[in-house]
Structure 1
Amino acid sequence: MRRVSRIAVAGVATAALAVTVSACGSSSSESAGGGKKNLGLALAYDVGGKGDQSFNDAATAGMEKADKEFGYKSAAVEPQDGESDADKVQRLETLAKQGYNPVIGVGFAYAPAVKEVAAKYPKVTFGIVDDDTIKASNVADLVFHEEQASYLAGVAAAKTTKSNVVGFVGGVDVPLIHKFEAGFKQGVEDTKKGVKVKSQYLTETAAEGGFASPDKGENAANGQIDAGADVVYAAAGLSGQGVIKAAAAHKIWAIGVDSDQYKQAALAKYKDSILTSAMKDVAGAVFNLAKSVKDGKPQTGEVRASLATGGVSLSESNPVFKNNADVQAAVKKAEEGIKNGTIKVKTS
């Protein structure tokens, strides 16, 4: 079924996107879209959209926190299937014109559109998550040391596996996801010699559904489990739900990503199979950018989060993980090593 682009609040129709927008007007700060009051922030979702229990939902949490604290009624726009960069440009332009500030592209696919639109609206702050290539005075590149959290996930996997085979499922074969794989593999190898890591990417491009196809994730995980894996780590957005489902069906461990997937309501029936999650604080990055605009001191340039800043971490919600002293000791030791520089985590 085709995903229809929409802004998830009610209000005045905007013909350009066939979406609806509502203005709260609770902030007196001026936007760049013609002197309107700032309505709040706007999110343009990545593939998978709201409800992925992962990356996009983390951004949503940051938006909702900003709404609560600042009295905003922000906007969130779903992606369309097979959309072009021109579609993304139109979406971001419409949000800027409506009076949203900041306007955030959730995912590296928005890089060309953010670069183009930011140049047209110099008084609006733009953010892009997971891309550090845009150098502009009104753009914040919200990026993370994903490899560091993934290293800790690898340590946990190596300390937990009984078969000495673990799996990695990447959504799309791109440099960002290579960082997750590289950190995970290094964490496994540094912790327990002889453990095999089986890796698989679901698609070559995002357009093929690598981040939005739970069935692809489930099939990949089933293949790795059949090959002996008893811990599988997924960095695959919405597709990761299929990996978790497969792990639960085979009674092996899954490691989640981006959000604390043990706590996600949509995954509640599988939570006892979610050992931990390699998290990155997308929610915090989104909120902090909105706050910086609210305070009149917008963040710009590269804003990179790490273990040292608390921007990436490993969740401890599952009691099985939290109460395993051997695993906890290994993870804490690795965390300290990364923070003090004695462990250098690879990114590829």
Structure 2
Amino acid sequence: MRKIFVLFLILSFVGLMSIGFSAKTVRVGIVYDVGGRGDKSFNDAAYAGLQRAIKVLKVEGKDLEPGPGGANREELLRTLAEQNYDLVVGVGFLFTDAITAVAKDFPKVKFAIVDGVIEGLPNVSSLVFNEHEGSFLVGVVAGLMTKTNVIGFVGGMDMPLIHKFEVGYKAGAMYVNPKVKVLINYIGVTGEAFKDPVKGKELALAQYKQGADIIYHASGASGEGVFEAAKETNKYAIGVDSPQSWIMPDRIITSMLKRVDVAVYETIKDVKEGKFKSGIRVFGLQNNGVDYERTKLLPLGVVQKVEQIKKEIIAGKIVVPYDDKTFEEFKAKYLKK
């Protein structure tokens, strides 16, 4: 009898231990990009993904903001790694060097970078997007809805990543409206270009003055300046990253949705389920990684046309350009002389 009782105690202890181990809470730390939480755009989308994971997956989350200019990015990543967080996420391509350094020092911690590509490290997942596909869709909207046949684009940092937004946008507009002219300006050449609404407004006002009646911005928090310009001139704007029409429902006709929230959530889910994969993970129209925002300002006919084109892109019937070279190829193939 005594042996049976001892065996019962041992089995009970083992059972409790296994319950304890299986119930370990996954801990996720996020460090934001320049502009921080509250940018109503890129960083807020990452925050939404974390919050969804906290609610649905019952993970524990912590989010941190870098100091001016993002000088302490690596320090914040290192702090989370030292505290043994299961997953540490850097929101933005500017984290590339910092995550590379910290991930090498903490091989047991998993890392993810949004918009950056880090290859060759088994504990780093690179979350990238087909921004050109989503931008093509809002370009279609602008091309169909412009009354002046002049539209604008205001980019944040002048770099290849933001060029994808520009190229996709003008290709989409020209695809449905060969007469359209696209005005293009960039705010700056550093990360600070994503949080300069004063410059954003200045550039937008200049484009509206040149005849643009719709401007698409891909400039993070600087986009608030573009929206202010749209309000002042009674013209229209297109948001980016997150659904932004709520900011100015009568002026923002749609937004290009870059589903950073989906990418962050899915990566956290993979970690929780033990399915984390290193390498590059692409989010496009095919897997709901990019899209466009439906708003009350979009006529039914425009929505139907965008939905038709969206299906054609997914089916491979329309190949969306992402840089100058592919844009020239796109023009030669799809645009009539």
Q: Identify whether the pair has TM-score above 0.5, normalized to the shorter chain.
A: yes
- Give SS of 2:47's match: helix
Residue 203 of structure 2 is matched in structure 1 by: 220
Conservation of the 8 A alpha-carbon contact between 1:62 and 1:284: yes
Question: Which residues of 2 match residues 72-83 of structure 1 at below 5 A?
Answer: 72-83=59-70
Letter in 1 for 2:263: A
The unaligned stretches of length 5 or more in structure 2 are 1-19, 324-337
1:193 is displaced (CA, Å) by: 1.1
- In the other structure, the counterpart of 1:161 is 146
Q: Take 1:238 and 1:165, find their aligned partners in 2: how far apart are those partners?
A: 24
What secondary structure does 1:345 align onto? coil
What's the secondary structure of 1:110's corresponding residue?
helix
The residue that corresponds to 1:71 in the other structure is 58
Give me the whole-angstrom Cα distance separating, in 1, the residues matched to 2:69 and 2:262: 29
Cα distance change on mapping 1:40 and 1:68 into 2, 3 Å: same
Higher mean C-alpha displacement, 91-100 vs 233-242: 91-100
State the partner residue of 2:224: 241
- Which of 105, 110, 113 matches 2:90? 105
Tell me what 2:304 maps to: 329
Q: Does 1:343 align with 2:326?
A: no
| 2-structure distance, mates of 1:325, 1:236 | 28
Distance in 1, Cα, partners of 2:104 & 2:216: 39
SS at the partner of 1:143?
strand
1:173 & 1:134 partners in 2: Cα distance? 24
5 Å-filtered alignment, 1:1-348, equals 28=21, 40-84=27-71, 87-206=72-191, 209-263=192-246, 267=247, 270-316=248-294, 318-321=295-298, 324-348=299-323
Residues 256 and 291 of structure 2 are in contact (CA less than 8 Å); yes or no, is this contact kept in structure 1?
Answer: yes
**TM-score, L = length of structure 2:** 0.87
For structure 1, which segment, 62-71 or 155-164, has the greater mean C-alpha deviation from structure 2 after superposition? 62-71
Instruction: Specify the SS of the correspondent of 2:314.
Output: helix
- Structure 2 Cα separation of the partners of residues 277 and 227 of structure 1: 23
What secondary structure sits across from 1:200 in the alignment?
A: strand
The question of whether the paired residues in 2 share the 8 Å contact of 1:49 and 1:56 is answered with: yes
1:264-307 Cα distance to aligned partner (Å, 9 max, x none): xxx2xx22111000001111111111111111221321111111
Q: Deviations over 1:217-263 (max 9, x none)?
A: 11111110011100000000000111112112211111000001123
Distance 1:200 1:212 in 2: 15
The alignment yields a C-alpha RMSD, in angstroms, of: 1.7
Q: 1:23 aligns to what?
A: none
For the residues of structure 1 that align with 2:319 and 2:157, how far apart are their CA atoms? 25
Distance in 2 (alpha carbons) for counterparts of 1:282 and 1:28: 31
Residues in 2 aligned to 1:145 and 1:29: alpha-carbon distance in whole angstroms: 37
Aligned to 2:3: none
Amino acid across the alignment from 1:44 = V
Runs of 4+ in 1 over 6 A off after TM superposition: none
Q: Equivalents in 1 of 2:49, 2:311: separation in Å?
A: 28
Q: CA deviation at 1:135?
A: 3.0
Report how far residue 29 of structure 1 moved.
7.1
The aligned residue for residue 13 of structure 1 is none
Contact 2:26 2:272 in 1 (8 A): no
SS in structure 2 opposite 1:276? Answer: strand
Question: How far is 1:40 from its partner?
Answer: 1.6
**Greater radius of gyration (CA):** 2
Specify whether residues 106 and 55 from structure 1 end up closer, same or farther in structure 2 by C-alpha distance, changes over 3 A only: same
Alpha-carbon distance, 1:28 to partner: 4.9
Residue 56 of structure 1 deviates from its aligned partner by 0.1
- Shift of the 94–44 alpha-carbon distance from structure 1 to 2, 3 Å rule, reads same
Structure 1 gaps of 5+ residues are 1-26, 31-36
Where is the helix percentage greater, Structure 1 or Structure 2?
A: 2
Q: 1:243 and 1:29, CA in 2 relative to 1: closer, same or farther beyond 3 A?
A: farther
What SS is found at the alignment partner of 1:104? Answer: strand
The normalised TM-score by structure 1 is 0.84
In structure 1, C-alpha distance between the alignment counterparts of 2:59 and 2:291, rounded to whole Å: 29
Q: Deviations over 1:31-58 (max 9, x none)?
A: xxxxxx6562111100100000000000
